[in-house]
Amino acid sequence: MRHNRGWERGWGKAVVRTGALVLLVLGCVCMAGELLGKRQPPDGPESGGRTNGQAVEVTSDGNYIKWVEFHVTSEAMGAAYDLDVDSYRDEVHVNWIELLAYVGAKTGGKFDKNSVRKIEEVAEKLKSGDSTMEELTKDMEYYDYYLEAYTAVLGGMMGEFTLDGKRVYGLKAFSPIAKGFDYSHYDDFGSSRSYGYARPHLGHDMMGQIGTPIIAVESGYVEALGWNQYGGWRIGIRSFDRKRYYYYAHLRQNYPYAEGLAEGSVVTAGDVIGYMGHTGYSTTENVNNIKTVHLHWGLQLIFDESQKEGNNEIWVDCYELSKFLYKNRCEVEKVGDSREWRRVLPMTDPAADAYMEKTKMPPQQNH
């Protein structure tokens, strides 16, 4: 345990003082060793026993981020997003992730009711030409860390795309629940789970009705598809830059996936990829052992491929992100008398086109 108990009173007080001095010296030596081997951003709130001091480690392969705690509020994301879009064609185009990273570096990753004001203040300095982001952050030791970390979370969610034949700049990521379908949710990241073994909940649950269309949050390619003992019928989609892995679990019994979806399929943000259910908690396929109908969706960050599976996985809290993405819910329509749904407005994402060109894949239809 990390917390030391107090020493007993009595004849050993002198020994205690001597021991404490020795422990202090040893602690300083150990801390110096840690600092020589690691860049340490400030500790974030609610670290759960694992602090941001373990975030970036020097390895034989170089530096890469080892831990991210994403506490950006939906209000802060919304304010930074609006400033980015509104300035897109201005002489000074402010970048929403840079604004968020600036505030994160100033506050140690803590966002509160004052964060929107701070975002607006720094954006005004940039837009007025009084300063640049490079000048504002030149003495901020951890700005680069927060910029890389927040870019890993949000980097594929903003940009140019074509929607219904019109060129658009803005949010090209979607809520995982289709427009017009009700759901409820709360921040359940880190809560305990006991099936199989005791563990924290590393995703976000959105409760709804069986058959609710599930939407691809971001464009990417299907890396995993099929049955998992814990997640039931599930889908794993990797972003094209390979920084993000989206996990959608507990899909519908007997009809979990959109027609034609397979491992290797390229999906565009907003595509229908599957349907809500309550499968899982069984080594036998196609079993409903989850009590509550819901979508479990998770977002894993991957800075080095060694983090994909095992003890070094990085999963972020998606509650505030889900609230932010509510502003962009994809409208869907029923396909005849089938159980299929598809998006109403076709979308073309240049990132998907570039990936298919690179891999020589044929163009695919929106699900």
Residue-wise pLDDT for 60-84, tens only, equals 345 899 999 999 999 999 999 999 9
SS (H, E, C) the chain: CCCCCCCCCCCCHHHHHHHHHHHHHHHHHHHHHHHHHEECCCCCCCCCCCCHHHCEEEECCEEEECCCCCCCCHHHHHHHHHHHHHCCCCCCCCCHHHHHHHHHHHHCCCCCCCHHHHHHHHHHHHHHCCCCHHHHHCCCCCHHHHHHHHHHHHCCCEEEEEECCEEEEEECCCCCECCCCCCEECCCCCCEECCCCCEECCCEEEECCCCCEEECCCCEEEEEEEEECCCEEEEEEECCCCCEEEEEECECCCCCECCCCCCCCEECCCCEEEEEECCECCCCCCCECCCCCEEEEEEEECCCHHHCCCCCCEEECCHHHHHHHCCCCCCEEECCCCCCEEECCCEECHHHHHHHHHHCCCCCCCC
Question: Which CATH number describes the domain made up of 184-359?
Answer: 2.70.70.10
Is the whole model's pTM more than 0.85, yes or no? no
Residue 33 has pLDDT above 60, yes or no: no
Within the chain, which residue ranges are assigned CATH 2.70.70.10? 184-359
Specify the pLDDT at position 366: 56
Each residue's pLDDT tens digit, 178-223: 999 999 999 888 888 878 778 888 899 999 999 999 999 999 999 9
pLDDT band at 363 (very low <50, low <70, confident <90, very high): low
Identify the residue with better confidence: 195 or 2: 195
